[in-house]
Amino acid sequence: YSFFTDALHPDDHKSTMQAMLDAMFQIKPVYECEYRIKTKDGQYRWYYDRGTITQRDKDGKALFVAGIVFDVTDKKNDEFLLKEENRSLSIEAYTDPLTQISNRRALQDELEQLVNPHIRIQRPLSIILFDIDNFKQFNDEYGHLAGDKVLKSVANELSQSIRGFDTLGRYGGEEFLIILPNTNLDKALRAAERARQSIETLVIDGLPKVTVSGGVVQREEDESIETMIDRADHKLYQAKNQGRNRVC
């Protein structure tokens, strides 16, 4: 018994023992488990183990067990590599490649979860839509590399200005969307103004001052995601028409 348990990986001990005890005490007809065993060279290998109690005494106590064990290390390694590959693909699918923040798809999925009608407790939800002022000027006068530098700098600054449970993403072009769960309009406006001010003080070597305009809205009851974003977009252009570098 100790020959087996001493070599068993500590993280697998509880689940393995439980599977075997369930069979011994007739909770389940067979035991089935996967675990790691330390080999003589100190490395762990994965095994799949399946067995059943073949003989009991008059009180029902397990006396003999018969089973079969397979080395499934290669299979486990393949599964791990596949999971890592899928994780990388998932990150890539939801990340803007230039700014390394969430992309439009990720923002859409986040909003859909937050407005899920099956969630019993509906909390306030606000969004901020920012647009970099006169962004075309950076590209035209300083080149697209300078434009990319501005986008990355603004994304980094906005990332530092939001709370841990807020979501920042690049909505498209030079537009950034911030999702603020459990946040009413007043709090969202204050957050937007803090973010705007932080961008205003941003210094990017060799480039003129960068500013942003923003539109802020709180979701209305049963309002669709599209309508909410459209309202934020109208507020954004209201800020643009009022002179830029402001939030409405």
Orientation of helix 225-241 relative to helix 104-114, angle to 10°: 120
Which region among 72-76, 190-194, 230-234 has the lowest average model confidence (pLDDT)? 72-76
Please report the pLDDT score of residue 167 as a whole number.
96
**Active-site residue among 174, 175, 200, 226?**
174
193 belongs to the catalytic site: no
Whether this prediction's pTM lies above 0.75 is answered by no
Give 119's pLDDT tier (boundaries 50, 70, 90).
low
Give 1's pLDDT tier (boundaries 50, 70, 90).
confident
Please report the pLDDT score of residue 116 as a whole number.
84
Q: Which of 64, 171, 80, 96 is nearest to 128 (CA)?
A: 171
Give 72's pLDDT tier (boundaries 50, 70, 90).
very high
Residues 150, 210: contact at Cβ < 8 Å?
Answer: yes
Is pLDDT at 182 greater than 70 in this prediction? Answer: yes
Mean pLDDT across the stretch 205-233?
95
CA distance 105 to 179: 13
Strand order in the sheet with 212-218: 167-172, 175-181, 125-132, 212-218
Residues 178, 166: contact at Cβ < 8 Å?
Answer: yes
Please report the pLDDT score of residue 223 as a whole number.
93
